Amino acid sequence: MKKSIFCLMVIACVLVHAEVERKVVQRQRALVRSGAGLFYPIIAELSQGTPISVLAEEEGWYKIAVQDSNGYVSTKVTQAASAGDDPFLRMSSGADVRLSRHGMSAGVKGFASRFTTAFKGDADFMDVYASYQLDPADYRAFTRETERRNPPTAAPLHPLSIRDYFSFSEAGMGIAIASRISQLGLLQDPDIQTYVNCVGTRVASASHGYDVGFRFFVLDVDAANAYACPGGIVFVTRGMLQSLNNEAELAVILGHEIAHVVLRHGMQEMEKRKHNIKSDDAFAAMEEEFEKMGEPTDAEYKAVEEELDAMALEIYDTIYQGRMDAYEVEADSYGTLYAARAGYKSSVIHSLLQRLLHSERGSTNEHYTPEQITGRIKNMRRDTGVDESANALLLTQRYKDAIAPLMRGQ
């Protein structure tokens, strides 16, 4: 009898072991979250080459064993992605993946601190950003209520042929750009902050960037505007919220900004401009050192850092002034797709842009000026090409209830 029990235990152990799949992290950095969703807190960060034990797979996430507990990583982290001649990956090589108490790695924090100084941004924003975390319980309740009215659609997402994550230097740069934008003033209303993050997270979860750590902030600014920063930081202004009629319009606005992030428009602009400034020699010197398996000298690092600062300032100006004309139609197209996949009536973008065109609220962003909105309307197909469900959501009353304090303040 004892022998039989022992044999059964051995068989069980073998079966359990057989179910554990071994994989290797192929990204430069892989975020491990406490649950399967971008709204869960980060509990660890893994570097490229780290072996992981996959315990289960669910909707784009692997459940893995990490640090004596279980965590979740995107299934995309094990897919090979060539660095090519990407200077931002090389600049981040060897960055520290240890987490601070707020779930930000030392590598990201280091770049964020340096770029924030270069931008003359608000150093306190780094703590605001790092400490904000959407409560998973709040988001699950929001999701249950939304899907009771209309579940997300199954509209397909075609794979993107671009790198779908942000390096340490890019993530740090995004935080620094956001630190500068935050100087316009953040709205101090935690309920509205939670609501906007719930809507934004739902749309982001339906996007190509379902594993990007998106966080959404409201600027206490009268102009109708929105901004997206590399790494997933999105701003929407109080004036924009006051200009919208329903939650579907908010989903489309946030979807547009999410698309800018996912499609790496800001970083693509920087990579295109690299050849126009003196950084070529500095990057070449650093790359040559890496090829020799050595470390660049302090002088070479300093040269690269100075050129990155210069490019980062350029891209900050591009994001703030909204001069990425070639990207706007693409962001509208993908943004409406993401909103529709989240269950919203994304065709509201047409009436929304028409209304913003005639709005009396000014904008510092050229893409929300009358001239640019006219161009976006002209270049957008009347049929967005998105197959909305018959029950696509507007959620007018829920939106009005959520932003009621802003409407009383008008």
pLDDT digits (tens, 9 = 90+) for 51-87: 999 999 998 999 998 777 799 999 999 987 655 567 6
pLDDT class of 135 with cuts at 50, 70, 90: very high
Quick one: 182 exposed, middle or buried, by C-beta within 10 A (0-12, 13-18, 19+)? buried
Q: Which residue has the higher pLDDT, 296 or 249?
A: 249
Q: How many Å apart are CA 399 and CA 80, to the nearest integer?
A: 41
Mean pLDDT computed over 361-386:
63
Residue 190 pLDDT greater than 50, yes or no: yes
Question: Which uninterrupted H or E stretch holds 233?
Answer: strand 233-237
Beta bridge partners of 44: 32
Q: What angle do CA 134, 136, 138 make, to 5 degrees?
A: 80
Q: How far is CA 385 from the centre of its chain?
A: 24
State the CB neighbour count (10 A cutoff) for residue 142. 20
Identity of the highest mean pLDDT range in 103-107, 148-152, 298-302: 103-107
Residues 6+ apart with CB under 8 A from 287: 85, 90
Q: Give CA–CA dist 139/39, Å, rounded.
A: 8
Q: What ranges make up the beta strands (E) of 48-174?
A: 51-58, 61-66, 69-74
Which pLDDT score, from 0 to 100, does residue 111 have? Answer: 87
Decide if pLDDT at 323 tops 70: no
Compute the half-sphere exposure of residue 215: CA atoms within 13 Å on the CB side of its CA.
20
The highest-confidence range among 79-93, 265-279, 396-410, by mean pLDDT, is: 396-410
Instruction: Tell whether the model's pLDDT for residue 300 goes beyond 70.
Output: no
Distance of CA 246 to the CA centre of its chain: 23
In the chain, the percentage of residues whose pLDDT exceeds 90 is 48
- Return the pLDDT at 88: 74
What are the backbone dihedrals phi and psi of residue 63, each rounded to the nearest 5 degrees, phi first? -85, 125
Residue 318 tokens, joined: 């591009």
φ, ψ for residue 106 (rounded to 5)?
Answer: -60, -35
Q: Tokens in use for 230? A: 């590399």
Residues in the chain: 410
How does the average pLDDT of the chain come out, rounded? 81
* pLDDT of amino acid 314: 66
| 261 touches 209 (CB < 8 A) | yes
Q: How confident is the model at residue 189 (pLDDT cuts 50, 70, 90)?
A: very high
Span 126-133, average pLDDT:
95
Nearest to 219 by CA among 233, 234, 237: 237
Asked whether 184 and 8 are in contact (CB, 8 A), the reply is no
Strands (E), 75-220: 215-219
Going from the C-alpha of 180 to that of each of 126, 210, 216, 310, 341, the distances in angstroms are: 11, 26, 15, 15, 32
pLDDT band at 274 (very low <50, low <70, confident <90, very high): low
Which region among 246-250, 317-321, 333-337 has the lowest average model confidence (pLDDT)? 317-321
- Return the higher-pLDDT residue of 203 and 266: 203
Residue 318's pLDDT is 63
How would you classify the pairing of strands 215-219 and 233-237?
parallel
Residue 25: Cβ within 10 Å count: 18
Delineate the domains of the chain, giving CATH numbers in brackets. 19-78 (2.30.30.40), 87-266+320-408 (no CATH)
Q: How sure is the predictor about 237, in pLDDT bands with cuts at 50, 70 and 90?
A: very high
Residue 57, token pair as written in the block: 């797979």
Number of H helices, E strands in the chain: 17, 9
With CA atoms as reference, report the closest residue to 359 among 248, 243, 193.
243
Residue 62 pLDDT: 97
More confident residue, 150 or 243: 243
Residues 6+ apart with CB under 8 A from 259: 207, 330, 331, 332, 333, 334, 335, 338
